[in-house]
Amino acid sequence: MSQDPYRGLKDVVRYNRHQYGAAAAVIALSAAVAGSKRVPSLLRLAAGLVGAGTAALSVSSLVATHWIYDRSKLRHWFWLDSLTGGTPKHWTNIHCGLDDSTQILTSRWGPPDTVLDIFDKGSMTEPSIRRARQLSTPGVPSVIANFRKLPPDDDSQDLVVAIFCLHEFRKREDREAIFTEIARILHRDGRLVIVEHLRDEANFAAFGPGAMHFWSREEWLSLAEHSGMMLVAETSVTPFVRGFAFARLT
């Protein structure tokens, strides 16, 4: 793990620089309008409020990001123990271009059967994930995989881990497809563990409209049910991040 105490914050800003750049432009324009004596007072007031609100939201998102990724227990992986159901013999790690977990999890469980990069440019359309793939440094070698037909055999995995990646599927049908495939490759006693931000009050408070990039708890449970899985464990990693463990229905 990187020793840089601000690595998480720096990475998020790099990957989402278009959003922070737009916020900076709004703040600058609002300040210019609010400070101009040529502009009607009501418009100056409105511009000041917009600028102040944008600045406050930008600061709150940066502070929350730094705490979540650089200071919280998220960085210390022990919280996964409550979700995995034991040490897996056969496990798969799934990501879509950012893999900060395989090396750490390998030190805990031994090497995975496979590490799958399931990025799909037709399904993952947000600029942030494309930029992240361009800027990130590859870690453990990954297998490029079609999320509609994962390489592992049926009933072959004790555990499938997907950390901060499945929300990148913007279409419900694609999320259903990956959940169905994961259910196929799991043992009957196996588990899918996902870790995600949620579209909830805490994330709206920290990230404002950015929370719309995430999906709700109800959506994840609905996807599991659709694919023949059920919730067997759940943990709050931080007020902004939740971990779920799903198992196949027998």
250: tokens are 């027998």
pLDDT of 144 reads 95
DSSP 25-89: HHHHHHHHHHT-TTS-HHHHHHHHHHHHHHHHHHHHHHHHHHIIIIISGGGS-GGGHHHHSS--S
The end-to-end CA distance of the chain, in Å, is 38
DSSP 78-107: GGGHHHHSS--SSEEEEESS--SSHHHHHH
CB 30 within 8 A of CB 48: yes
List for the chain the helix, strand, coil content (%; round to 5).
50, 20, 30
Chain centroid offset of residue 123 CA: 15
Rounded to whole angstroms, the Cα distance separating 157 from 159 reads 5
- DSSP class of 191: E
Q: What is the pLDDT of residues 137-168, one digit of tens each?
A: 767 899 999 999 999 999 999 999 999 999 99
pLDDT at 3 over 70: no
**Closest residue by Cα to residue 147 from 218, 96, 191:** 96
What pTM, to 2 d.p., does this model score? 0.90
Mean pLDDT over each residue of the chain, to the nearest integer: 93
Q: What is the pLDDT of residues 51-97, one digit of tens each?
A: 999 999 999 999 999 999 999 999 888 899 999 999 999 999 999 98
pLDDT of 136 reads 77
Give the burial string for 34-44 (b: 16+ CB within 10 Å, else e): beeeeeeeeeb
Element (H, E) at 238: strand 229-238
Residue scoring higher pLDDT (4 or 191): 191
